[in-house]
């Protein structure tokens, strides 16, 4: 085809309506300036009409907001040239949630789903000047109380904090297609928002427009990519022309015949020796930019560009002697999934900036993760989140937005869900990072339809007829609508109905259980079940998609919501910023078991983080040692939506807790891990590499002054993508004549001159160690401009914590400093992700000894 194509002038144009919005409460005369995208709560705060929702117990004082109706309005001019387009579409990328839209006083849209795009052709209504657009938000609480009454018997929704919302036991969240966590959770507040939460645009087009371009991966290998470009084209008229697909020097052409309205066009093609997209740690993240153009008589009349990475993905579930496997195979390579569960970064999602998303994904990369699970109680994330996951090789387990509740099954609800699913699959399916679609969070197990004695006790509150009705609705959504949507729109991507689940059998074998040796597991006996950390080692499933332990954020964060007089465990404010009924006391119970007694409240905060880190390290390393039986470890949870005591490894402000540093060490691509048995220690090397690892393991028994008491060195060789015991230590022989509370085993895994990993092991819990006050020295590395430091100590310094007033993170922290083993550390600022110019005198250094109550 002749490459010298003409281009139709101004076939499309976009006008974004983001400025000069105003809002008011229904019935008020006063209009106030509004921010769009935004929501009522943040607009009220910006106008000084409410106090900080996160401060103290202010949450409870702001529950009136969701019971009111609110109006948003803008008056705008339309460029004259836009009036010449044959189509002018008003597009709302996101309306939260029940909204009536009027343009120049004409009703045009009735929205009822936060997760859908709402649009209308408004060519006949627009004029050049003084267009008036009004969005009337109906109270979500009032709307859904009516639905609850109409439903008749209500549905279980464990995390709906209706009491905090002032509506008693009315669990209404299940009736709204809206972020479930807005109604409260056991880590989050109840702020049932309303607002325009994504962009508002007017799109003008004539002749035709390409509305979607999907590059389907039919078969991907190192030598050949078999692909199909699937397009949706809207046309004004019937005509014949050419479709041109191009990327990286490749161009192909197909004759097309378009009819008025929506057209679906497919083009099969191949690419030899494609550059593949890999997850972090396994290879590069390569992308192709595909351009589709529609050409009429040598003139380009429609164009769309999409970026994607080429990769194959399979959820491998094959029967074996234990049950059946459950792992993801990327480009033919089995991948051990290392990561965390992601929740929305804010109670008010429009407050999450690019920088906050970037910090979260970089924090995942820095801590050696390769996966985040977008949990089903939040939102289908903004495009920015997935773009960053694509760029950094973080795979995404994508839940649909259903969690910990049963849902209605009326025809209008099911149709709403169907459209929601299709729109979001189409939006996200070109992202190579999205590797698994999951129907819901924990509902299959919570209801446990096929085992009367199992579940969360929900079904026993309903009659036989009601139970059948509820389960029929469940199956309609998660076993029909959602898998059908994935099969139709992303046919090469795996779908899993519920997390956790053992198998898709429609009998008692379906529900999650460690005994079946199948599916994925949420293991909560540590924490909810009050089992000790050691239980993590003997309760390992095929894929551990949830487990966790709480801690408090650091003192700087606590002070953002609590005054000096509130700084005690059982104060009203501290209890309010702990959404688990027993959370603070559970932390204390576990702390009493494993840790020294903290001397004051700030010390309690520090010790809670160390405790959390130790617990989750036990879990992660047990999971990795069990590779390939276990092929995934996603702890709960990565982040917070407000400042709170929770299971997160990174607090609301993005500050790394101790856990995040523990995770970084335990998720290393080549890991040295020590398993303690009754009579011995097994030293494992676990490798996620695609090549054989060979190195050397040196094991030393040291006293707390750093003197070597015993040592042994062995060569190691570990196959790619595997776990292996490389050495066994007889505890009785190594401890003979030494006090177990005064010695430490230090193991060094090396390859040539490179230190791959160092691990310490103690024979008693921290609370029983005979610690003395260490003298810790910190010195700057010459010519590093204050970027790098080396630390040393005269005696064992346990859990050394570094901190700086500059926001950022250290390359390591909350580590044990052994005499004679200097520790190099760098500091990375948050703002630029570059090394900071931070002098050592501006870095605060302390250790566990500084936080212990004097005996």
Residue 258 to residue 136: CA distance in whole angstroms = 38
Asked if residues 661 and 649 have their Cβ atoms less than 8 Å apart, the reply is no
| Residue 837 scores a pLDDT above 50 | no
Instruction: Decide if 763 contacts 590 (C-beta within 8 A).
Output: no
Is the domain of 93 the same as that of 213? no
| Per-residue pLDDT at 9 | 45
Same domain? 31 vs 168: yes
Q: What is the Cα–Cα distance from 676 to 734, expressed in whole angstroms?
A: 13
- Contacts of residue 539, Cβ cutoff 8 Å, sequence gap at least 6: 514, 523, 525
Pair (93, 195) in one structural domain: yes
pLDDT in tens, 290-301: 999 999 998 999
pLDDT > 70 in the chain, percent: 97
**Distance separating alpha carbons of residues 70 and 19, to the nearest angstrom:** 18
Domain co-membership, 136 together with 235: no
> Tens digits of per-residue pLDDT, 744-754?
999 999 999 99
Whether the bond between 628 and the residue before it is cis, its omega within 30 degrees of 0, is yes
Q: What is the C-alpha end-to-end distance of the chain, expressed in Å?
A: 86
CA 269 – CA 245 distance, rounded (Å): 10
Indicate whether 221 belongs to any domain: yes
Rounded CA-CA distance 645/608 in Å is: 10
Over residues 61-81, the mean pLDDT reads 97
CA dihedral 235, 238, 240, 241 (to 10 degrees): -20
* pLDDT for the residue numbered 834: 47
Task: Provide the number of structural domains found in the chain.
Answer: 3
Q: Which residue has the tokens 């006996």?
A: 525
**Domain span including residue 812:** 771-855
Whether residue 238 sits in one domain with residue 185: no
The answer as to whether 586 is a domain residue is no
Region 491-517: what's the mean pLDDT?
96
Whether 59 maps to a domain, the answer reads yes
Q: Are residues 28 and 107 in the same domain?
A: yes
Please report, to the nearest 10 degrees, the dihedral formed by the alpha carbons of residues 71, 77, 82, 83 taken in order.
90
> What angle separates helix 411-428 from helix 482-489, to the nearest 10 degrees?
30
Under the banding of pLDDT at 50, 70 and 90, the label for residue 321 is very high
Contacts of 408 (CB under 8 A, 6+ apart): 147, 151, 155, 174, 175, 473
**855's tokens:** 């005996």
Compute the average pLDDT of residues 611-636: 98
Is 181 a member of any domain? yes
User: Which tokens hold the place of 390?
Assistant: 């694509």
**What is the DSSP-derived secondary structure letter of residue 481?**
I
| Closest C-alpha to 481, from 409, 538, 391 | 409
Domain match, 16 and 162 both: yes
Scanning the structure block, which residue is given the tokens 């469940």?
474
Q: Return the exposure string of 721-747: e unless at least 16 CB atoms fall within 10 Å of the residue's CB, then b.
A: bbbbebbebebeebbeeeeeebbbbbb
Q: Are 512 and 520 in contact (CB under 8 A)?
A: yes
| In a domain? residue 532 | no
Report the distance separating Cα 516 and Cα 531, nearest Å. 21
pLDDT in tens, 509-555: 999 999 999 999 999 999 999 999 999 999 999 999 999 999 999 99
pLDDT of residue 832: 54
* pLDDT score, position 855: 64
Do 162 and 222 reside in the same domain of the chain?
Answer: no
- Residue 782 inside a domain? The answer is yes
Per-residue pLDDT at 470 exceeds 50: yes
- Both 302 and 161 in one domain: the answer is no
Mean pLDDT for the chain overall: 95
Say if 56 falls within a structural domain. yes
Give the pLDDT score at 831.
72
Nearest to 815 by CA among 797, 841, 838, 790: 797
Angle among Cα 491, 495, 496 to the nearest 5 degrees reads 170
Domain harbouring 256, CATH code = 2.60.40.10
Kindly calculate the radius of gyration of the chain based on its CA atoms and give it in whole angstroms: 29
**pLDDT digits over 140-169, tens only?**
999 999 999 999 899 999 999 999 999 999
Burial of 67 (0-12, 13-18, 19+ CB in 10 A): middle
Q: Rounded to an integer, what distance in angstroms lies between the CA atom of residue 561 and that of residue 255?
A: 63
- Residue 708 pLDDT more than 50? yes
Question: Among 290, 308, 326, which residue terminates a domain?
Answer: 308
Distance CA 23, CA 526 (A): 47
Q: Which of 279, 308, 337 is the last residue of a domain?
A: 308
* Nearest-angstrom CA–CA distance, 796 and 685: 25
Residue 407 and residue 155: Cα distance in Å, rounded?
A: 7
Closest CA to 375 of 346, 351, 402, 395: 402
pLDDT digits (tens, 9 = 90+) for 808-832: 999 999 999 999 999 999 999 887 5
Average confidence (pLDDT) over 278-296: 96
The share of the chain scoring above pLDDT 90, in percent, equals: 94
Clarify whether residues 116 and 262 are in a common domain: no
CA distance 359 to 362: 5
> CA 159, CA 581: separation in Å to the nearest integer?
12
Of 201, 223, 240, the residue at which a domain comes to its end is: 201
pLDDT(325) > 80: yes
Helix axes 601-625, 658-666, angle to 10 degrees: 20
The pair of three-digit structure tokens given for residue 142, joined into one six-digit string: 């009032």
Give yes or no: residues 215 and 197 share one domain: no
State which H helix or E strand residue 602 sits in.
Answer: helix 601-625
Give the containing element (helix H, strand E) for 444.
helix 443-447
Please report which confidence band the pLDDT of residue 3 belongs to, taking 50, 70 and 90 as the band edges.
very low
Q: Cβ–Cβ contacts within 10 Å for residue 49, how many? A: 12
- Nearest CA to 494 out of 509, 505, 507, 504 is that of 504
Q: Are 111 and 18 contained in the same domain?
A: yes
Angle at 95 between CA 93 and CA 100, to 5 degrees: 120
Residue with tokens 């939460």: 197
* Residue 853, pLDDT score: 84
Task: CATH number of the domain at 130, please.
Answer: 2.60.120.260
Strands 693-703 and 743-751: antiparallel
Q: What is the pLDDT of residue 76?
A: 97
Q: What is the mean pLDDT of residues 446-472?
A: 97
Crossing angle of helices 583-594 and 601-625, in 10° steps, is: 80
**Is 444 domain-assigned?**
no
pLDDT tens-place string over residues 763-793: 999 999 999 999 999 998 887 766 889 999 9
Averaged pLDDT, 687-709: 96
Whether 288 shows a pLDDT value over 80: the answer reads yes
Q: Average of pLDDT values for 583-612?
A: 97
What does the block give as tokens for 256? Answer: 């097309």
3-class SS of residue 453: coil
Its pTM stands at 0.96
Residues in CB range of 768: below 8 A, 6 or more apart? 741
Please report which confidence band the pLDDT of residue 842 belongs to, taking 50, 70 and 90 as the band edges: confident
Both tokens assigned to 164: 């905090």
Retrieve residue 15's tokens: 């006008």
What pLDDT score does 839 carry? Answer: 59
Sheet containing 261-272: which strands, arranged edge to edge?
208-220, 224-235, 261-272
Instruction: Dig out the tokens for 586 from the structure.
Output: 């559970």
Report the alpha-carbon angle 476-481-486, nearest 5: 150
């Amino acid at each position: 085809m002749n490459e010298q194509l003409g281009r139709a002038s101004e076939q499309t144009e976009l006008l974004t309506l983001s400025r000069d919005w105003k809002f008011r409460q229904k019935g008020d005369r006063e209009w106030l300036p509004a921010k769009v995208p935004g929501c009522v709560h943040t607009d009220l705060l910006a106008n000084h009409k409410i106090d900080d929702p996160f401060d103290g117990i202010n949450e409870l004082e702001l529950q009136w907001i969701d019971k009111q109706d609110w109006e948003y309005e803008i008056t705008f001019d339309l460029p004259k040239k836009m009036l010449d387009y044959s189509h002018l579409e008003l597009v709302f990328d996101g309306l939260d949630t029940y909204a009536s839209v009027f343009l120049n006083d004409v009703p045009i849209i009735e929205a009822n789903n936060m997760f859908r795009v709402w649009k209308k052709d408004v060519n006949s209504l627009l004029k050049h000047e003084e267009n008036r657009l009004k969005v009337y938000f109906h109270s979500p609480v009032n709307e859904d109380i009516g639905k609850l009454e109409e439903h008749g018997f209500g549905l279980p929704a464990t995390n709906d904090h209706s009491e905090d919302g002032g509506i008693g036991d009315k669990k209404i969240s299940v009736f709204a297609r809206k972020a479930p966590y807005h109604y409260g959770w056991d880590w989050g507040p109840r702020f049932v928002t309303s607002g325009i939460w994504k962009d508002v645009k007017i799109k003008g087009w004539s002749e035709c427009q390409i509305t979607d371009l999907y590059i389907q991966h039919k078969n991907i290998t190192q030598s050949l990519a078999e692909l199909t470009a699937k397009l949706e084209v809207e046309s004004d008229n019937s005509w014949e022309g050419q479709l041109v697909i191009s990327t990286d020097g490749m161009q192909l052409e197909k004759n097309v015949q378009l009819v008025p309205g929506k057209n679906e066009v497919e083009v099969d093609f191949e690419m030899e020796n494609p550059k593949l997209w890999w997850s972090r740690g396994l290879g590069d993240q390569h992308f192709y930019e595909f351009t589709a153009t529609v050409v009429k008589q040598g003139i380009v009349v429609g164009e769309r560009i999409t970026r994607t990475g080429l990769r194959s993905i399979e959820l491998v579930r094959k029967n074996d002697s234990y049950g059946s496997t459950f792992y993801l195979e990327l480009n033919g390579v089995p991948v051990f999934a290392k990561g965390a569960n992601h929740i929305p970064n804010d109670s008010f999602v429009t407050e999450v900036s690019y920088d906050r998303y970037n910090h979260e994904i970089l924090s995942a990369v820095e801590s050696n993760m390769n996966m985040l699970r977008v949990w089903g109680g939040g939102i289908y994330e903004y495009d920015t989140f997935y773009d960053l996951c694509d760029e950094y090789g973080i795979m995404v387990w994508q839940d649909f937005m259903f969690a910990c509740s049963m849902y209605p099954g009326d025809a209008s609800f099911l149709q709403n869900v169907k459209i929601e699913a299709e729109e979001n699959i189409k939006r996200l399916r070109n992202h190579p990072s999205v590797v698994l679609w999951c129907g819901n969070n924990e509902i299959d197990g919570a209801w446990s339809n096929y085992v009367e004695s199992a579940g969360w006790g929900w079904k026993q509150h309903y009659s036989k007829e009601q139970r059948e009705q509820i389960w029929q609705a469940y199956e309609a959504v998660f076993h029909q609508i959602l898998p059908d949507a994935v099969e139709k729109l992303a046919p090469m991507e795996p779908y899993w109905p519920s997390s956790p689940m053992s198998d898709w059998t429609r009998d008692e074998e379906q529900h999650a259980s460690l005994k079946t040796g199948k599916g994925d597991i949420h293991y909560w006996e540590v924490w909810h079940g009050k089992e000790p950390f050691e239980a993590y080692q003997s309760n390992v499933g095929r894929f551990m998609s949830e487990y966790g332990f709480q801690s408090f954020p650091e003192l700087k964060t606590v002070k953002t919501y609590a005054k000096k007089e509130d700084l005690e465990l059982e104060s009203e404010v501290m209890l309010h910023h702990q959404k688990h009924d027993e959370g603070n006391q559970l932390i204390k119970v576990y702390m009493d078991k494993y840790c020294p007694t903290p001397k004051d409240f700030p010390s309690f905060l520090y010790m809670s983080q160390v405790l959390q880190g130790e617990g989750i390290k036990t879990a992660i390393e047990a999971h990795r040692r069990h590779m390939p039986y276990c092929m995934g470890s996603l702890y709960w949870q990565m982040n917070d939506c407000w400042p709170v005591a929770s299971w997160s490894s990174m607090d609301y402000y993005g500050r790394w807790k101790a856990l995040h540093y523990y995770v970084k060490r335990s998720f290393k691509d080549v890991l040295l891990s020590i398993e303690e048995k009754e009579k011995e220690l097994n030293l494992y090397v676990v490798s996620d590499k695609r090549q054989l690892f060979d190195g050397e393991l040196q094991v030393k028994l040291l006293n707390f002054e750093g003197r070597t008491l015993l040592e042994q060195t062995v060569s190691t060789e570990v196959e790619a993508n595997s776990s292996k015991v490389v050495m066994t230590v007889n505890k009785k022989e190594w401890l003979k004549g030494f006090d177990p509370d005064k010695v430490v085993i230090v193991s060094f895994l090396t390859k040539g001159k490179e230190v791959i990993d160092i691990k310490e092991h103690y024979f008693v819990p921290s609370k029983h160690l005979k610690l003395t006050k260490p003298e810790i020295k910190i010195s700057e590395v010459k010519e590093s401009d204050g970027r790098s430091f080396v630390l040393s100590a005269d005696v064992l310094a346990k859990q050394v914590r570094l901190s700086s007033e500059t926001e950022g993170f250290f390359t390591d922290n909350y580590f044990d400093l052994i005499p004679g083993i200097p520790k190099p550390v760098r500091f990375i600022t948050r703002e630029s992700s570059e090394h900071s110019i931070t002098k050592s005198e501006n870095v605060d250094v302390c250790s566990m000894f500084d936080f212990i109550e004097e005996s």
